[in-house]
Structure 1
Amino acid sequence: MSNVPSGTTTQAGESPALKSAISKAARHLMPMLVILYFVAFLDRTNVGFAEDALAVDRGISAGAFALGAGIFFIGYAIFEIPSNLLLKRFGARFWLARIAVTWGIVATAFAWTTNDTMFIVLRFLLGVTEAGLFPGVILFLSEWFPNKHRVKMFAIFYLAQPFSQMLGAPLSGGLISFGDQFTPWHGWQVMFFVEGVMAIVAGILALKFLINSPQDAKWLNDDEKRALTDVMAKEDSVRESDGPTGIWRAMGNWKVWYFTIIYFCLQIAVYGTTFYLPQQVANLLGQNVGWQVGLVAAIPWLVGLFACYFFGRAANTVRRRRHWGTMFYVFTGVFILGSAWAGATGQPFLGILFITLAVASFLSVGPITWSYPTAFLTGTAAAAGIGLINSLGNLGGFVAPIMRTAVNEAVPTDAGTWGVVSLGVFAFLAAIMLFSTKFFTAKADSLLEEETAPGH
């Protein structure tokens, strides 16, 4: 017997008002969310462009730089859950804007870095102030868009990652060149200051463009508001009957921890690949990191951009999400192993191809992965559960470079083959775990299955 409430609107029976409401919400909300995430990635990763200059101009040691790069994730992890709970209290509009403004202030402060201690403290504070943006947006989207359309919105949000990797390098490099040539400051100071100000401006704009709920949206008419709030209320009732209620039950729920492990495995593959992508490309091409390497390193993100959007848009059934998600995790592992083999055997074309396919695969699977916890979490349980998954999962970004380096030191090769191989193992583990979700489908996913069944 179905647990789905009677009278639920199905895909084929979506009213014009509901379709219009979803379309308007996407047009009004998604550009601002993508901008926020784009700038967040920019301020999170631009420090790599200033490594050598900070060492020369401020005496920042290699050890302090490495600690500062990683300590970001510690501050980020500690404050993810509190930030998400405060978002529920103050509303997404204010809280996401506050996050952007405060991390922008910290990001600009890097322009005045003077020593190791200041650099490490600022990196920690950057993680603290940025904490809550990603899980806050995931929570926000789960309250605005029905399950049927959610993966597509997650995919659009994810587009900020490849955009930031493609456009961030020339922007950061251009600001450094401009600062060195046309201002009395060091180029790296101009880069940190301008990109930090971009976050502050984005936060101010978020106050104008983000809306807490459909009821507050002036660009929705009464019929559209009613249609959207009705379908979200029905989905919330299903999630409340299926998932944990309250903060502590969510944090102790086995499904939440299950998806935390999956997301941790994903981030191992993602950060273990992206942190070393320019250097890996340089090794394959036999060149130093520079303009040509940067152009080639942008290819995986360009391909990944289209793959993420296409598969996110098409993953609108339970079967597709599970099968495609499993497939993309397997592909991620296989292509990471392929890039290691190509590097070890000196085949640059195949190496670039495998890296490109690996990036496209893990970008495609991210939005699909987030559709699972948002199918059974709602309210404060969603705030806590999504925050927990993202905070502990992102520690994969802290573990990945350490693990890759340790494996390479334990089993040394000229191409660092076994360190790359270790990343692929975690992708295969995630594939097994995601496929196993067929044994505990959420009630909201059962609703989605009925909506997309033949004959509806």
Structure 2
Amino acid sequence: MSTTKQGIPMFTATADDAEDGVYRKISWRLLPFLGVLWVLAWLDRVNIGFAKLQMLESLQFSEAVYGLGAGIFFLGYFFFEVPSNMLLQKIGAKKTIMRITICWGIICMLQTYVTTPTQFYILRFLLGAFEAGFYPGVILYLTYWYPTQRRARAFGTFMSASAIAGVLGGPIAGYIMTSMGGVHGMHGWQWLFIIEGIPSVLAGVFAWFYMTDKPEKANWLTADEKRVVETVLKRDEAALGERRHDWRELFGNKKVWLLIAIYFCLLCANSTLTFWIPTIIKEVGFSAPMTVGWIAAVAYLGGAAGMILNGAHSDRRNEVRWHFTGAAFVGGVAMAVLAVLLGTSITPMLPLIAMTVALVGTMSAIPVFWQLPNRYLAGSAAAVGVALINSVSNLAGFGAPYVMGLIKNATGQVSPGLYIVAAIEIVAGVLVLAGIRQLHASRKGVASAKGV
């Protein structure tokens, strides 16, 4: 084994095989469980989109009330994500994930008892506040284990759980709402919140016994395997060069605000699709909850495949900009086509295909985006920076569903809102091409060669 000038060991082919074996072991240990937690989080976050099919009539809520309630979740995210990630870095991922998961499960179940818009808004805000920190926390947590060239695939595998949740969530929600209506005098949408909240509480308890904060604490890795991980991470740290470590510098960092703008535009599209897909399917002509659920499942299955494949291809090609931009452009154009087809297509298949392509393109861009922050930030700056980017950007999740609700109330259609969101998503791709190139040019050495 030879070494670099910095004294970092260079792997031979045999060592590369050993590294691959160690990371297969790590991935099988970490990613399935984190994926299950993300499935549960996603179900508890977006089941409101399916509950809406019965809930609005039951409680006499307007589309605007629904839109505000769906979106106010992200205000909780905004206020509590940065403190949560700072706490994670201090007390560890295991305690943080346990706290988050148990609390969001309890709040999900409490939504069963909503009777007024104010109660609806408060519980949706609390759901966001308690879930805040999970997603950026996992992103930060994975950087403790994976070097840069392995992260897009790991991120994509983890994040695809949100698409898998869409695949499972639609049929499950449809079945619960159809079969449980009237049981013990409660509506189907009420049972949806109860049944989908309980597994989150149980998973949070299990997280305490299962999770490991960092590689050096992993009793399921041998001493040699721990040394491999340590060497790989040191090599990656040296290759990336000097990065910001002081989180107090973040708020004046133009690179961070550019990343926020990019992710904000992407999440406008993702949030719109997340909370309005059941409504879009209903507008096409399918109103039965089970049917809506199965159609949404097919769309999300494509989204899951897109996230994994685009993330893996980005890793193999060591390229980020075009993998993000291409996916965002596909998502934006397909959403505009969907807006044109709604109400004008002679067959429901065409708008459903456009909806699916929009979802695939939008979701495929997400794991690639998360390659960018850790190319510029490290240490406490990475912990706070990832949370800051995610929390501010997720304000799009507050605004987009609410504006869509207002537009739907005013016009009776969702198409005008879809045109706006399509344009915003395309802007995300333009910002990457225009802004990341400039940032890329400002970095020298290895980081530039990596196609940032």
TM-score, normalised via structure 1 length: 0.88
Contact 1:317 1:449 in 2 (8 A): no
- Report the equivalent of 2:432: 434
**Which residue identity lines up with residue 120 of structure 1 in the other structure?**
Y
- Report the equivalent of 1:111: 112
What is the percentage of aligned positions where both structures have the same residue? 32
Q: Distance in 2 between matches of 1:443 and 1:233?
A: 23
- Cα separation, partners in 2 of 1:35 and 1:62, compared to 1, 3 Å: same
- Report the equivalent of 1:223: 224
- Report the equivalent of 2:386: 386
Contact 1:329 1:427 in 2 (8 A): yes
User: Over residues 101-135 of structure 1, what are the superposed CA-to-partner deviations in whole Å (9 max), with x where a residue is unaligned?
Assistant: 11112222223335443332221111110000000
Contact 2:144 2:215 in 1 (8 A): no
User: How far apart are residue 155 of structure 1 and its match?
Assistant: 0.6
**Which residue identity lines up with residue 308 of structure 2 in the other structure?**
Y
Counterparts of 1:139-178 in structure 2 under 5 Å?
139-178=140-179
Q: Distance in 1 between matches of 2:279 and 2:292?
A: 9
User: How far apart are residue 177 of structure 1 and its match?
Assistant: 4.1
Give the gaps of 5 or more residues in structure 2.
none
User: How far apart are residue 382 of structure 1 and its match?
Assistant: 0.8
Counterparts of 1:355-394 in structure 2 under 5 Å?
355-394=355-394
Contact 1:4 1:447 in 2 (8 A): no
Contact 2:50 2:289 in 1 (8 A): no
- Report the equivalent of 1:98: 99
Contact 2:133 2:387 in 1 (8 A): yes
Q: Distance in 2 between matches of 1:214 and 1:221?
A: 10
User: How far apart are residue 144 of structure 1 and its match?
Assistant: 0.8
- Cα separation, partners in 2 of 1:65 and 1:259, compared to 1, 3 Å: same
**Range 51-60 or range 386-395, more displaced:** 51-60
Secondary structure of the structure 2 residue equivalent to 1:243? coil
User: Over residues 77-115 of structure 1, what are the superposed CA-to-partner deviations in whole Å (9 max), with x where a residue is unaligned?
Assistant: 110100010000110111111110111122222233354
User: How far apart are residue 376 of structure 1 and its match?
Assistant: 2.1
- Cα separation, partners in 2 of 1:11 and 1:422, compared to 1, 3 Å: farther
Secondary structure of the structure 1 residue equivalent to 2:315? coil
User: How far apart are residue 268 of structure 1 and its match?
Assistant: 0.7
Secondary structure of the structure 1 residue equivalent to 2:245? coil
**Range 178-187 or range 137-146, more displaced:** 178-187
**Range 62-71 or range 348-357, more displaced:** 62-71
Aligned residues: 446
**Which residue identity lines up with residue 368 of structure 1 in the other structure?**
V
- Report the equivalent of 2:271: 271
Contact 1:336 1:424 in 2 (8 A): yes
Secondary structure of the structure 1 residue equivalent to 2:144? helix
**Which residue identity lines up with residue 128 of structure 2 in the other structure?**
G
Secondary structure of the structure 1 residue equivalent to 2:181? helix
Q: Distance in 2 between matches of 1:55 and 1:308?
A: 33
User: Over residues 386-431 of structure 1, what are the superposed CA-to-partner deviations in whole Å (9 max), with x where a residue is unaligned?
Assistant: 0111011111111213444566788x5x754332111111122111
1:292 maps onto 2:291 in alignment? yes
1:301 maps onto 2:300 in alignment? yes
User: Over residues 49-89 of structure 1, what are the superposed CA-to-partner deviations in whole Å (9 max), with x where a residue is unaligned?
Assistant: 43465566666676654433222111111101000100001
Secondary structure of the structure 2 residue equivalent to 1:320? coil
Q: Distance in 1 between matches of 2:118 and 2:405?
A: 25
Contact 1:242 1:442 in 2 (8 A): no
- Cα separation, partners in 2 of 1:190 and 1:25, compared to 1, 3 Å: same
Counterparts of 1:126-137 in structure 2 under 5 Å?
126-137=127-138
Q: Distance in 2 between matches of 1:66 and 1:415?
A: 14
User: How far apart are residue 203 of structure 1 and its match?
Assistant: 0.8
Contact 2:163 2:303 in 1 (8 A): yes
**Which residue identity lines up with residue 390 of structure 2 in the other structure?**
N
CA RMSD of aligned residues (A): 2.9
**Range 113-122 or range 52-61, more displaced:** 52-61
Contact 2:77 2:128 in 1 (8 A): yes
**Range 99-108 or range 274-283, more displaced:** 274-283
Contact 1:404 1:419 in 2 (8 A): yes
- Cα separation, partners in 2 of 1:187 and 1:331, compared to 1, 3 Å: closer
Q: Distance in 1 between matches of 2:230 and 2:443?
A: 16
- Report the equivalent of 1:350: 350
Contact 2:152 2:368 in 1 (8 A): yes
Contact 2:339 2:418 in 1 (8 A): yes
TM-score, normalised via structure 2 length: 0.89
Contact 2:174 2:289 in 1 (8 A): no
Q: Distance in 2 between matches of 1:279 and 1:338?
A: 17
- Cα separation, partners in 2 of 1:190 and 1:341, compared to 1, 3 Å: closer
- Cα separation, partners in 2 of 1:4 and 1:26, compared to 1, 3 Å: farther
**Range 289-298 or range 367-376, more displaced:** 289-298
